[in-house]
């Protein structure tokens, strides 16, 4: 349950509340490159669809779980709400084919690379 919550939080960062998801810079498919020192989990892959939904493969050590839900974006924040998990808010900064999601509670971050 704790791992699913962490996944939901990270996914929440990827969308920003109040913005049209179609115009969000996070729309697309990404691959995570976080290490265990950067975050309690990492993404094998995550897709943010233009309709405000996401699907992700979250990795916790040797365990991998599929997570899906909805995201919203507002400014540089993304809120992820996974199935059965409370919404989580992240700070997002995007660059050329990269996005860094930072958990506002812990300050830990994960870098994602856009699939080309």
Under CATH, to which class is 2-114 assigned? mainly beta
DSSP classification of residue 87: -
The structure tokens listed for 69 are: 């839900």
* pTM beyond 0.95, yes or no: no
A 10 A CB-CB count for 23 gives 9
Rounded Cα gap, residues 25 and 100, in angstroms: 12
Domain borders along the chain are: 2-114
pLDDT digits (tens, 9 = 90+) for 80-104: 898 767 788 889 999 989 999 888 8
pLDDT digits (tens, 9 = 90+) for 25-73: 999 999 988 555 556 567 788 999 999 999 988 776 778 888 899 999 9
């Amino acid at each position: 349950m704790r791992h699913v919550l962490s996944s939901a939080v990270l996914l929440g960062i990827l969308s920003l509340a109040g913005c049209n998801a179609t115009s969000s810079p996070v729309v697309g498919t990404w691959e995570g490159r976080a290490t265990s020192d950067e975050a309690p989990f990492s993404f094998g892959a995550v897709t943010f669809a233009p309709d405000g939904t996401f699907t992700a493969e979250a990795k916790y050590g040797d365990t991998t779980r599929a997570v899906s839900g909805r995201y919203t974006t507002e400014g540089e924040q993304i809120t992820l709400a996974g199935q059965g998990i409370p919404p989580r808010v992240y700070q997002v900064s995007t660059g050329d084919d990269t996005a860094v999601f930072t958990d506002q509670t812990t300050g830990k971050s994960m870098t994602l690379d856009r699939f080309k």
